[in-house]
Structures are given as structure tokens and as C-alpha cells.
Amino acid sequence: MAGEIERAQCLDEYEKLVTRMNNPRVVIDNDVCTSATLIKVDSARKSGVLLEAVQALTDLNLSIKKAYISSDGRWFMDVFHVTDQFGAKLIDESIRTYLEQSLVAGNDNRKLEGFSNHLTALELTGSDRPGILSEVFAVLADLQCNVVDAKVWTHNGRVASLMHVKDEDSGSIIEDTQKIQRIERRLHNVLRGDGDNVPAIARVVAVSSLAVAHAEHRLHQMMSADRESGQAAEATASSLSPSPPLVSVQNWIDRGYSIVNVQCRDRPKLLFDILCTLTDMEYVVFHGTIDTVGDRAYQEFYIRHADGSAISSETSRQRVIQRLQSGVERRSHRGLRLELCTVEQRGLLSEVTRVIRENGLSITGAEVSTKGAMSCNVFYVTDVTGNPAEARAIEAVRQRIGLGRLVIKEPPTRLPAYGSSNCPDPGEETGSGAGLLYIGSLVKRNLYNLGLIRSCS
């Protein structure tokens, strides 16, 4: 027994040594491709390293147009073709250093950029309805809580938000236990909804922002947990969306992989959202390919569960499909984009969201940030039935808030075009998802031709 423990300890020390000796290496090349920058990342393989790499790229607002993913034994190498948010190649040399530092820090690097560590984190999920965000901000203003940062997602009748707030008096983390309980109690009453059979969660985490994981990954986890715990009707997502993502899952029995194909409209952070979903379901991506043609994205992943097995049942297969569809759709905010950037003032968010509600509009998504003395806010709005907002309602909101302060911006419907000779005509897709199956040969051909796979073990 003692010998086995000693061997296990030696193996653990060896793994640590290999990781230290092979810190992630990042190569950036602007010569290989005429329309994108190539970023190659390779290092010793470890749990979650692919998601960390993609998270670092998306945090820089980079769009991933093409990618090849491969892990072989103890090593992994990923090749990404990326552009900036305007579709141009990268020229900032500091990106390589940032990516290397991010990958070395990994999951321990939890500090949210621009945040003090003297903030309280609020995690909220519940029933979505017109005006709910206005009620939440009104409660926080009444309880003397300043919202420093917030992200709000809505999907399938549910709402989730991650907020960072500070106490108005102290300007720091909220430490009063009784005040925390009051916040939790009042927000729970707002979120639970009338006649709602799905439990609401209004959780107050009185810790510094350093203890909170990546905000958008955390939102995925919150909405997934909300669905699992409350048996929400997310399984019907495909029927509620006019154009749901096409997802197929098959098994490659000879190699012990499950092959996941996703086809949908391309958008920023799409790969990040898919990897968050797979990671949280405890699936590991061993190989994959990502391609775009026009405004369509084609993604294929060779995965196994963390226990080394492929997907073994029809129930598990359907669960993966439904979760991936939801993971893709959550970030697709519906409605007109309104931007408000102004000097921070007490009760600003409560006032603005109240005006939006009083003019018959509903907020489907929001992002709030504070930079110095400035509060920068983005709201996506529709009418209360989910249809496009009427122009006169928008104009009434602008008149109340200030014509010079509230800017109307249509959400981008298309990314800069990026074609590939390896992609089929998007018109070949079918509602059954059969159009996805072409990628099975594509990924093998591309990965082997690039020398990214030495074996399939």
C-alpha cells in the first residue's frame, strides 16, 4: 500500500514537472492567411486548457473564423484563424504575451479586468417578464447598493444575471449580514413571479470579485443549473426559436469518440459558448474543426466524457443536443440595441429601466460597466410581446432620458464575410441536420494534412 502511494506521489510530481517545463507557447503569424491572423497554441495537455485559450481570445473581442483542435497523448495544439471585431488582421504584438500569461494562470486567474476586489457578487435567476430588471435595480437602489457591473441574459422565459455591487456608504463589499439577508429576501420576491412553479434563486455571495469565475461562463452555468433544478421548459428551445442551431451527435465506435456537429449563424463568442456547454457537461474535446463561410458557422468536435466513455444512451444524446442549442441561443439577444454612456449617478439604472418599462418595452439582455466616473450601459429592447419595438416608444424613451445620451444601434446581423473552399454551400443544409455530416471527413483530412494528429488514441 505504501509503495502504491509513493508511486502515485511520484507520478503527480512528474505531471507537475512536465507542465512547468512545457508552459503554453503562442505563435502569431500574419503571413499564412490573407484575410486573418493565425494563432497557434501548444503546450502540455491539461484539463480545461482549450476553453482557457478560447476564453482568452474572446476576452480580447477577437472573432475565430477557422480553427483546428488536436490533442495527442500528453500534448495539445490548437490553430486559430482570427480577426478583430472589425474583420481586420491583428497588429498588436502584446496579444501573444497576454495569451501566454492567461494560459499559464489558467483557472487561478479569476480577477475580472477593471474590478476592485472590494465588491459583492450577486447571482440571480428567476422568471423573465417585462419590467423585471427595473424592479431589481429599484430594490438595489432602495437598499443603497451601487451596481458596478452587470450582465443579464434571458432565454425561454427565464432570466439570469451576474452583478457586482458595492455598499453606497462604505464604497466596498457588503459585510452586514442583516443587510445581505434583506437584499436576498427582497430580490427573491421579485424573481419568483406570480404562479411560477419553477423555483427562483436569488443568491447573494458576500465575497470579493476575485472569488467569482469568468462572468459569461458563470451565466451559462447558472442558466443550466436553473433548467436542471427547476425542470424548466428549455427542452422545447428548438420550437421556440425561429431558426434553432442544427446539432447532431453520432458515435465513432472504432475510436471510442462521440462526434458533435453544430451548424448555425456565425457570431462573436460562438465557440466559447459551445465549449462552456461541453465543459460543464464534463465532456472533453480531443479533436475538432471550426469553419465559416459567409455568415454560417460549421463546427465539429470529437469528444469523450471525463470518464473516457463516448455518449452511451439516447437520453444522453438528446441532452447534449438540447444543452448545445440552448448554449448557442442564450447570447443571441433579441431587439434593438440602446447604448447609454454617462457620468455615474445614484439610481441611474433604476431610473433608465423604469422609463423603458413605462413606455411598453421589455429588456431582453443588458450589459452594465463602470469605468472611472463613467457608467456605460447597453440594453436590448423589444415590445412586451417580443416583437420589434415601435419607433415612437423608442423616441419617447430617448426624450425622457436625453436625446444626446441614449444612442440607438442596431445589433450586427452579419459578421465580415469569411469564406473557405472547404465549406459547402450553406444552401445545402437541411432541417434534419444531414447537411452537418460532411464535416466528418473534413476534420480528419485537415488535421492529418496539418500534422496535428499523430495517433487517435
Question: Is residue 174 scored above 90 in pLDDT?
Answer: no
Position 197 scores a pLDDT of 57
Over residues 385-426, the pLDDT tens digits come to: 999 999 999 999 999 998 888 998 865 544 555 654 443 333
Q: Are 126 and 158 in contact (CB under 8 A)?
A: yes
**Fold exhibited by the domain 120-233+334-409:** Alpha-Beta Plaits (3.30.70)
- Residue 451, CA atoms < 13 Å, CB-side half-sphere: 0
Question: Is residue 211 scored above 80 in pLDDT?
Answer: no
Residues of the chain with CATH 3.30.70.260: 120-233+334-409
Position 195 scores a pLDDT of 55
Least confident of 141-150, 190-199, 355-364: 190-199
Give the chain's count of helices (H) and strands (E): 12, 16
Name the H helices within 251-372. Answer: 270-280, 314-329, 348-358
Position 431 scores a pLDDT of 38
Position 233 scores a pLDDT of 45
Q: Are 288 and 299 in contact (CB under 8 A)?
A: yes
CA-atom Rg of the chain in angstroms: 23
Question: Is residue 351 scored above 60 in pLDDT?
Answer: yes
Best CA proximity match to 271, nearest among 69, 41, 46? 69
Best CA proximity match to 407, nearest among 358, 305, 338? 338
Average pLDDT, the chain: 80
Least confident of 117-121, 283-287, 306-310: 117-121
**What is the pTM for the complete model shown?**
0.82
Provide the angle, in degrees to the nearest 10, between the axes of the packed helices 270-280 and 49-59.
150
Question: Is residue 455 scored above 70 in pLDDT?
Answer: no
Q: Under DSSP, is residue 278 helix (H, G, I), strand (E, B) or coil?
A: helix
Question: Is residue 152 scored above 90 in pLDDT?
Answer: yes
Residue scoring higher pLDDT (105 or 387)? 387
Element (H, E) at 251: strand 246-252
Q: Are 62 and 107 in contact (CB under 8 A)?
A: no
Residue 124, burial from CB neighbour count under 10 angstroms (0-12, 13-18, 19+): buried
Mode of pairing for the β-strands spanning 374-383 and 361-371: antiparallel
Least confident of 79-83, 91-95, 251-255, 333-337: 91-95
Name the H helices within 339-411. Answer: 348-358, 391-401
